[in-house]
Amino acid sequence: MLSYRHAFHAGNHADVLKHLIQIQIIDYLGQKDKPFWYIDSHAGAGAYSLTEGYATKTAEYVDGVARLWQRDDAPPAVARYLDVVKGINPDGQLRYYPGSPWFAAQTMHASEKLRLFELHPSDHKLLGECFADAGRRIKVERGNGFEALKSVLPPPPRRALVLIDPPYEDKSDYQHVVNAMKESLKRFATGTYAIWYPLLQRPEIKDMVAQLKALPCQSWLDVTLTVRTPSKEGFGMHGSGMFIVNPPWTLAATLQQTLPWLSERLAVDKGAWHSIDYRENA
């Protein structure tokens, strides 16, 4: 489906959770003196304006990154995330929000490579323009990210973070995620995979997470952040989750220290909550 544009949602509570965790994984992988790749199955446009275009129609960032922007009491993981956001806003005004590829490019070593896939023709064009001067380090391709993963796994350095972040506008995306993970683990069992998913009142989500927990992997971490009480009508996203396969061993403890603060700051009502579930060395 080509109707989805992430610009409508840039900088919202789900982006905060996703990108905070993304940075923590990249920082961990970067501690070793061995290269790794960043692979993004649904990369989007690369960066987004918050003062014009799609983002102004919904202004979801107001209850997301904007709530944290001026905080001086943020936990280390949140402060690290905000430093990258501030890097794209050097004048101190929150005008732009970086997408997942931008966070990766800014936090990885300059010698490490990024492989970015985007199907939407407009976002693919913007993504290419965003990294036009990156040379061979960053390769942008137009394609179905679920299928495209086969072309890059396993990556040459045998180390990678793979971000899988589809729009889920098509209900079949939930099963596409599971199928892609099964195929990816056959090709590259030791990779770190981060899967973002929305919290909606849909049975497909619980089924997808249950299938992910049954994958043949060494360990997994399932994290959710709820910002509001689910609506009685059953509509709308009340939170989001990140399911990480082969996560850094430090990540669960970091999030246990971070999520209570983050949940309180991003809460819309008393229904705000967070959860952490994990399995180690299965």
Q: Tokens 């506008």 belong to which residue?
A: 169
Calculate helix-pair angle for 13-29, 100-107, nearest 10 degrees: 30
Question: 20 pairs with which residues across the strands?
Answer: none
Q: Do 104 and 96 contact (CB within 8 A), yes or no? A: no
Across the strands, what pairs with 241?
197, 224
139, 57 contact by CB (below 8 A): no
Active-site residue, 170 included: no
Query: Which entry of 165, 222, 269, 277 is annotated as an active-site residue?
Result: 165
Phi, psi of 164 (to 5 degrees): -115, 110
Residue holding tokens 């009685």? Answer: 232
Instruction: Retrieve residue 221's tokens.
Output: 């971490």
Active site residues: 165
